[in-house]
Amino acid sequence: MKIYVTGLGLVSAAGKGEEETLETFRTGSRHAGPVTLFSSEISSPVFEVKNFDRHYYSKRLRTVNLCLAAVEDALKDGGLGREIKGLRVGVALGTTVGSILNDLDFYREYRAAGKASMAAVDRYLQGNLASIVHSFIKTEGPAITVVNACASGADAVGIAMSWIKSGLCDLAIAGGADEMNRVPLCGFGSLGILSENLCQPFDAARNGLNLGEGAGVLLLENEKSLRSRGARVRALIRGYGTSNDAHHLTSPDPEGNGLARAITEALQEAEIEASEVSFINAHGTATRDNDLVEGRVLHRLFGTKVPFLSTKGYTGHTLGAAGGLEAAFSILALEEGWIPGSAGFTDGDPEILLAPAAERTFFEGGFALSTSLGFGGCNAALVIERPHEESSVL
Amino acid sequence: MTVGKEEELASIREKLKVLLVSNLAFLDELDPASIKDDEILFGEGLGLDSLDAVEIVVLLQRHFDVHIKDMKEGRAVFYSIDTLARYVHENIPKDKQ
Amino acid sequence: MKPLAIEGMGIVCTRGRGLDKFVQALKEGWIEPSLSEEGRMAYRISQADLSDREVLKRARRADRFSRLTVLAAHDAMRDSALKPEDAQKTGVIVATAFGAHGTIFKFLDDIIDYGEKNVSPTTFAHSIHNAAASYIAGVLECKGPTMTITQFHFSFQQALVLAYAWLHEGRADRVLVGVAEECSPAMEYICEEKLSIAADGKMDPLSFSEKPKLVPGEGSVFYLLSLNQERKKYGAFADVVIGRRNPEWNDLGLSVVGAHGMAGSERGYANVLKKGKAVSAYSMIYGGMLTGGGFDCAAAALALKNQELYGAGVLSDTGFCKTENLKAGKEINAVQCVSHGCDGELAFIKIIK
């Protein structure tokens, strides 16, 4: 069964929407700086979405607002409004921050006085992504909020695919969202994997990640849904692979076998060989461990001929949003026929055996691979195809 | 009368042992007094791993105001209780002594 | 949906660790909850039930939430007698409403007490909701897909739906599906502020109250599921219906009401149950949890296996048949577990023999 992508919604530091994002990729600009959304002692640069003023709920529910902005854009792109009649619609959304009660003011007050205002709790109870989108679009269909660390967004797309293939829904909204938040900023800092400079994925001198925020959402549907309403096909999700390293809570398996399995599974589902992949959007966080393991796995499976990049040099690490955003970026790249240079990369690391595209790179062929690795040993891979002319509109 | 270097080192070692036992998770209950001064921290000794290493970095910051700038530097420092204590002793800010 | 065979089950809750203890609890009914230092009632798990050196040796750092999850998942695997070499393509889905909130609050403690630059990386790593699933994968060597679902309503039901999709596609040949919740002082305070705590410690789920009373609970229950009906040990999940439709199954021997006091008015349950048919509820056994449906299904599965209708400890009789009023001996072939969320949505799970 084919799974079509008919809408994209994306918000990140690279741009609010496709035009701004492509412009950022064309010019190679990096919109990062010290955190401004809250006061912090941590000086590591972050990639915030500037001037984001689309509020569907309380301004303090930033993850929800980012998510709904991307959902609305994806629906509009797919020619749909908020109410979708006659079709079963699934909602699969990934997040990390958006699922936790982590309001510092609430907790500080509770600790000091043994009681606190319930405003933050009420916001938290309102703010479950899948539930909110499920009622935003008034749908009947499965709904899941996936919290799988940095693989959440990609897993959400994969889950939506599984649902559609199993006949549980005809159409699905899938992707992820996460806001800039103090908890992961402090947390990644304590793990020693935040860089004090702009991140340098796959570079020999890389020394950590920069946090980012955003939302990336795809509209997926089956052929029945597509034919019932006619829509422009932007891409096909041809394969999804997922696995667990069963190794360590925070470090990837140094052999990368879990990632290799996930990629292989995705290629098998897509029924393509590794040699048919035109480019790879790697997870590429710029930590010493991730890039080493991931780079070596890509080398093992694809050799040195397939161009690859990390877009985290343009967006920072957007955690739960990353998989959704990077699937969207891959679709844009397939449409444009080029990938941007891997921002932050200058010098290759001989241990990685591979170097990403340093400049804008045109490619042939119509298959992209997007990979995501998450804490807890989670690996996810998506194979995405550019549609042939004749299947662009059904 | 000032306390000699050896006494200072001994005091830091004891404090480190208590900190490790109370902040890291060991499979079995561990008495700080039972940890040898030359106990190897990783691998065969106390069996610590990379997550414990970054936890120790934070403990050094919190309790001694000592910072490890680069984890590559950390490898030699984190070899044993003794090497760790010596590093702390050498880098503890004067006003914290 | 093809039936999901239950090959094994594991459970940890206030009544202890293990299915035998749970069955005993189903027969005994209500017991008094414990009191915290702050004087709040909850159904907590004893420290002894969270200790197991052998199982947890690869999870020495695991926090409370991960411990209770790993133990339940491990027990489900052990109960199924699945050999470790056959577990490689097992998926794992952990469904939770609030996740490891105790650990998150501990991380916030660090920020307040030590500053942003001196927080514990270990605490942070455990505050990410999928830490528990990661531990399960590591301890049980499950290298298939692992997923954590966090939502306030129907997370267990959605987990079953996802498990079905994975098995149907062949992404996994078995799936460990379970729920997990923990208590913490801050969350108990929030429950006290936002909900009605039962002053006498007695939950009364069949009172179908506008403002139900609860005592918060914690625990984890796991099922090892597959499509292989020959390995069925406790019956099978035959259907999951989520939405506004009542499937009105005809062949039910029992309906289990998932009234746990955390989702507002419970009047709606009365509209979906049939008079004269056996009805029971078990939240007073394990405490109020938004993912209580996972525990209800354990009671249902055990009822089917043991051909016993457990109903001890249910207080109100509102015109539906309480199980203790039924005559023994009638065969039970199917049980439904009903939960309601907010917005009028319902979830029905059917388990068959």
Tens of pLDDT, residues C192-235 = 999 999 999 999 998 899 999 999 999 999 999 999 999 999 99
Q: What is the pLDDT of residues C166-187, one digit of tens each?
A: 999 999 999 999 999 999 999 9
Query: Three-class SS string for chain C?
Result: CCCEEEEEEEEEECCEECHHHHHHHHHHCCCCCEECCCCCEEECCCCHHHCCCCHHHHCCCCCHHHHHHHHHHHHHHHHHCCCHHHCCCEEEEEEECCCCHHHHHHHHHHHHHHCHHHCCHHHHHHHCCCHHHHHHHHHHCCCCCEEEEECCCCHHHHHHHHHHHHHHHCCCCEEEEEEEECCCHHHHHHHHHHCEECCCCCCCHHHCCCCCEECEECEEEEEEEECCHHHCCCCEEEEEEEECCCCCCCCCCEEEECCCCCCCCCCHHHHHCCCCCEEECCHHHHCECCCCHHHHHHHHHHHHHHCCCCCCCCCCCCCCEEHHHCCCCCCCCEEEEEEECCCCCEEEEEEEC
Cα C335 from Cα A280, distance rounded (Å): 49
Confirm or reject contact between B62 and chain C (CB < 8 A): yes
Mutate which of C52, C61, C67, C128 to test chain B, going by most B C-beta atoms within 10 A? Answer: C61
Burial of C200 (0-12, 13-18, 19+ CB in 10 A): exposed
How many residues belong to chain C?
353
Report whether C294 contacts C179 (CB < 8 A): yes
Instruction: Count other Cβ atoms within 10 Å, centred on residue C95.
Output: 27
Amino acid at C303: A
Which of C57, C121, C125 shows the shortest C-beta gap to B27? C57
Cα C62 from Cα C70, distance rounded (Å): 9
B57 min Cα distance to partner chain C (Å)? 9
C304: tokens are 């089917």
**Cβ pairs bridging A and C (under 8 Å):** 200
Q: How confident is the model at residue C139 (pLDDT cuts 50, 70, 90)?
A: very high
Look at A190 and B54 and tell me if their CB atoms are within 8 Å: yes
C113 min Cα distance to partner chain B (Å)? 10
Which of A146, A147, A190 shows the shortest C-beta gap to C119? A190
The strand ranges marked E within chain A are 4-12, 15-16, 89-94, 143-146, 171-178, 214-221, 235-244, 279-281, 308-309, 338-339, 361-362, 367-374, 378-385
Mean pLDDT in residue range B38-42: 89
Phi, psi (rounded to 5 degrees) for B62 = -65, -45
Window 86-145 of C: residues touching A by CB (8 A cutoff) are 92, 98-99, 101, 104-105, 107-109, 111-112, 115-121, 124-131, 133-135, 137-138, 141-145
Q: How far apart are the first and last CA of chain C?
A: 16
Q: Would you call A393 helix, strand, or coil by DSSP?
A: strand
A contacts of B57 (beta carbons < 8 Å):
192
Look at B51 and A190 and tell me if their CB atoms are within 8 Å: no
Look at B27 and C53 and tell me if their CB atoms are within 8 Å: yes
Window 134-193 of A: residues touching B by CB (8 A cutoff) are 190-192
Q: What's the distance, CA C314 to chain centroid?
A: 19
Residue A90 forms beta bridges with which residues?
Answer: A172
Mutate which of A3, A103, A144 to test chain C, going by most C C-beta atoms within 10 A? Answer: A144
Q: Does the structure's ipTM exceed the value 0.85? A: yes
Angle at the Cα of A273 from the Cα atoms of A10 and A158, rounded to 5 degrees = 35
Look at C129 and A118 and tell me if their CB atoms are within 8 Å: no
Instruction: Count other Cβ atoms within 10 Å, centred on residue A39.
Output: 8
B contacts of C120 (beta carbons < 8 Å):
23, 55, 58
Residue C321 forms beta bridges with which residues?
Answer: C278
Cα A22 from Cα A340, distance rounded (Å): 9
A218 min Cα distance to partner chain B (Å)? 35
- CA-nearest residue of chain B to C121? B55
Q: Please, which residues have CB within 8 angstroms of residue C47's CB and are 6 or more apart in sequence?
A: none
Per-residue burial over A3-34, b if 16 or more Cβ lie within 10 Å, else e, is bbbbbbbbbbbbbbebeebbebbeeeebbbee
Instruction: Count other Cβ atoms within 10 Å, centred on residue A38.
Output: 10
- CA-nearest residue of chain C to B62? C118
Confirm or reject contact between C323 and chain A (CB < 8 A): no
- Pairing of the two strands A367-374 and A279-281: parallel
Cα C120 from Cα B56, distance rounded (Å): 9
Look at A140 and C243 and tell me if their CB atoms are within 8 Å: yes
Q: How far apart are the first and last CA of chain A?
A: 15
- CA-nearest residue of chain B to A288? B71
- CA-nearest residue of chain A to B53? A191
A192: tokens are 């020693």
The whole-number pLDDT of residue C329 equals 59
Cα C204 from Cα A203, distance rounded (Å): 62
The whole-number pLDDT of residue C239 equals 97
The whole-number pLDDT of residue A393 equals 52
Q: Would you call B42 helix, strand, or coil by DSSP?
A: strand
Look at B58 and C125 and tell me if their CB atoms are within 8 Å: no
Query: Three-class SS string for A187-236?
Result: HHHHCCCECCCCCCCCECCCCCECEECEEEEEEEECHHHHHHHCCECCEE
Angle at the Cα of A281 from the Cα atoms of A278 and A287, rounded to 5 degrees = 140
Cα A391 from Cα B21, distance rounded (Å): 63
Helical pair C101-114 and C64-80, crossing angle rounded to 10 deg = 150
Q: How confident is the model at residue C342 (pLDDT cuts 50, 70, 90)?
A: confident
Which of A190, A250, A251 shows the shortest C-beta gap to B58? A190
In the complex, which subunits touch A with 3 or more CB pairs below 8 angstroms?
B, C
Which of C119, C135, C169 shows the shortest C-beta gap to A187? C119
Between A78 and B26, whose confidence is greater? A78
**Ramachandran region of residue B13, left (φ > 0), alpha (ψ -120 to 50) or beta?**
alpha
Fold that domain A4-391 belongs to in CATH: Peroxisomal Thiolase; Chain A, domain 1 (3.40.47)
DSSP labels for A20-46?
Answer: HHHHHHHHT----BS--SS--S----B
C contacts of B52 (beta carbons < 8 Å):
122
Cα A283 from Cα A308, distance rounded (Å): 10
Closest of A264, A239, A265, A268 to residue A368, by C-alpha: A239
C contacts of A104 (beta carbons < 8 Å):
108, 111-112
B contacts of A250 (beta carbons < 8 Å):
50-51
Mutate which of C112, C147, C175 to test chain A, going by most A C-beta atoms within 10 A? Answer: C147
Q: Please, which residues have CB within 8 angstroms of residue C330's CB and are 6 or more apart in sequence?
A: C253
Which of C92, C108, C153 shows the shortest C-beta gap to A102? C108
Residue A91 forms beta bridges with which residues?
Answer: A143, A173
Q: CA-based diameter of chain A, in Å?
A: 66
Mutate which of B42, B50, B69, B77 to test chain A, going by most A C-beta atoms within 10 A? Answer: B50
Q: How far apart are the first and last CA of chain B?
A: 15
Amino acid at C239: D
Helix, strand and coil content of chain B, in percent to the nearest 5, comes to 60, 5, 35
Q: Please, which residues have CB within 8 angstroms of residue A51's CB and are 6 or more apart in sequence?
A: A16
Helical pair A104-113 and C185-194, crossing angle rounded to 10 deg = 90
Cα A353 from Cα A351, distance rounded (Å): 6
CA torsion, points B65, B70, B73, B78, in degrees to nearest 10? 60
Look at A250 and B57 and tell me if their CB atoms are within 8 Å: no
The whole-number pLDDT of residue C318 equals 59
- CA-nearest residue of chain A to B62? A190
Cα A335 from Cα A317, distance rounded (Å): 24
Mean pLDDT in residue range B23-27: 89
Cα A80 from Cα A231, distance rounded (Å): 10
Which of C57, C62, C122 shows the shortest C-beta gap to B55? C122
Residue C327 has pLDDT above 80, yes or no: no
Interface of C with B (CB under 8 A): 53, 57, 60-62, 114, 117-122, 125
B34 min Cα distance to partner chain C (Å)? 20
Closest of A159, A207, A98 to residue C169, by C-alpha: A159
Look at C168 and A247 and tell me if their CB atoms are within 8 Å: no
How many residues belong to chain A?
394
Q: What is the pLDDT along chain A (394 residues), one digit of tens a residue?
A: 999 999 999 999 999 999 999 999 999 999 999 999 999 999 999 999 999 999 998 888 999 999 999 999 999 999 998 888 788 999 999 999 888 899 999 999 999 999 999 999 999 999 999 999 988 887 788 999 999 999 999 999 999 999 999 999 999 999 999 999 999 999 999 999 999 999 999 999 999 999 999 999 999 999 999 998 888 999 999 999 999 888 887 777 888 999 999 999 999 999 999 999 999 999 999 999 999 999 999 999 999 999 999 999 999 999 999 999 999 999 999 999 999 999 999 999 999 999 999 999 999 999 999 999 988 889 999 999 999 865 555 4
Q: What's the distance, CA C194 to chain centroid?
A: 22
Residue B1 has pLDDT above 50, yes or no: no
Cα B11 from Cα B8, distance rounded (Å): 5
Look at B58 and C120 and tell me if their CB atoms are within 8 Å: yes
